[in-house]
Amino acid sequence: MAEQPRSEIIGADFERLVTEYNKALANGEAGPISAIQCDGTEASSCASEQTFRKLLDAFPAPVYTTDAAGRITFYNEAAVKFSGRQARLGTDRWCVTWRLYWPDGTPLPHDECPMAIALKEDRAVRGTRAVAERLDGTRVSFIPHPTPLRDASGALVGAVNMLLEIDEVALDGVQVLIVSDDIFVAAELDLLIDEAGGVAVAIAATGSEALALLDEHSIDATLVSLPLREGHGPLINALVRQDIPFVLHEGNEEHVIQMLGDALKLRGRRNQEAIL
């Protein structure tokens, strides 16, 4: 069995942790993490808050939280290392980073960043990429995972974000095969691949066409539109045999972008290792 990408594991762990935190908030068993340490006036809620604070503090990727207005209330040591600075709790807003840019280098104002969008529109934001600049001028590309936090009444009380660093070099030039018998779906998948940092090099309407294209092109990853057809079996077997990452498209675009990005990065690293 192929090794699961570390970024995929961390992403899944983050989603589970946030889900549990939101459940505790909805059940009144926890309060939102405050920039001021809990004073213990409500012992049960305080204990739950401290538990999640400790879990976030020990999380292996940069994470931070804000209140509903976007003010930073917490960040872990990994976030300090990632951003190259210590954000001012209760003062800095939207993101722990110093400066932000879109992948093409265009400046990204903090109040327009994915975390700001998540809070202003009260929704999780997935499938985006950004670049953070540190005080020393170095830059790092990352995938944000801003997720709203809601209390028992359903009211927005803050948000939590994970900044998952990505390897631009690993993604560069990675070639993707699209398998879909619907030309409109194929066009949508092409856009998803572009957002994930890949390049769609061919489109196959059937499994047999895809098998032929595997022999004609250097394919690094494959995006297969569901439902699976009868002829897809041999294709999936060939992809597994050739160790080519593939993603099954089920209509969840944000999930596809995130998972495809992981697959592309894994394949890109293997390409670099082959060159070395």
Q: How does the average pLDDT of the chain come out, rounded?
A: 82
Distance between CA 74 and CA 34 in Å, rounded? 7
pTM over 0.75: no
Read off the pLDDT of each residue in 228-239 and give the average, rounded to a whole number.
81
Whether residues 52 and 185 share a domain: the answer is: no
Per-residue pLDDT at 89 exceeds 60 = yes
Judge if 173 and 160 occupy the same domain: no
Residues 25 and 139 in one domain: yes
The domain boundary residue, chosen from 166, 191, 207 = 166
Task: Please state the domain count of the chain.
Answer: 2
Query: Is the model's pLDDT at 194 over the cut of 70?
Result: yes
pLDDT band at 173 (very low <50, low <70, confident <90, very high): low
With respect to residue 1, please indicate whether it lies within any of the assigned structural domains.
no
The verdict on 23 and 107 lying in the same domain is yes
* Residue where one domain finishes, among candidates 122, 147, 166: 166
pLDDT of residue 253: 65
Q: What is the structure's pLDDT at 116?
A: 97
- Identify the top-confidence range among 88-102, 161-175, 253-267: 88-102
- Asked whether the predicted pLDDT for residue 275 surpasses 70, the reply is no
CATH number at residue 150: 3.30.450.20
Question: Are residues 179 and 84 part of one domain?
Answer: no
Q: Establish if 37 belongs to a structural domain.
A: yes
* Domain range for 96: 6-166
Instruction: Measure the CA–CA gap between 231 and 229, rounded to whole angstroms.
Output: 5
* CA trace torsion 165, 61, 35, 24 (10° rounding): 120
Could you tell me if 12 and 134 lie in one domain? yes
Residue 226: CATH number of its domain: 3.40.50.2300
54 or 257: which carries more pLDDT confidence?
Answer: 54
What gap in Å lies between CA 243 and CA 258, rounded to an integer? 19
222 shares a domain with 136: no
Has residue 97 been placed in a domain?
A: yes
Domain end residue (candidates: 134, 166, 198): 166
- Read off the pLDDT of each residue in 208-221 and give the average, rounded to a whole number: 85
Identify whether 227 is preceded by a cis peptide bond (ω within 30 of 0).
yes
Q: Are residues 128 and 150 in the same domain?
A: yes
pLDDT for 272 equals 54
* 118 and 56 inside one domain: yes
**In a domain? residue 214:** yes
Task: Of 95, 107, 100, give the one whose Cα is nearest residue 62.
Answer: 95
- Residue 4 is predicted with a pLDDT of 44
Tokens (6 digits) for 120: 């202003």
Summarize pLDDT for 24-36 with one digit per residue, the tens: 888 888 878 877 6
Same domain for 159 and 66: yes
Question: pLDDT band at 170, cuts 50/70/90?
Answer: very low
Distance CA 221, CA 235 (A): 12
Q: What is the pLDDT of residues 34-75, one digit of tens each?
A: 776 554 444 445 676 788 888 899 898 999 999 999 999 999
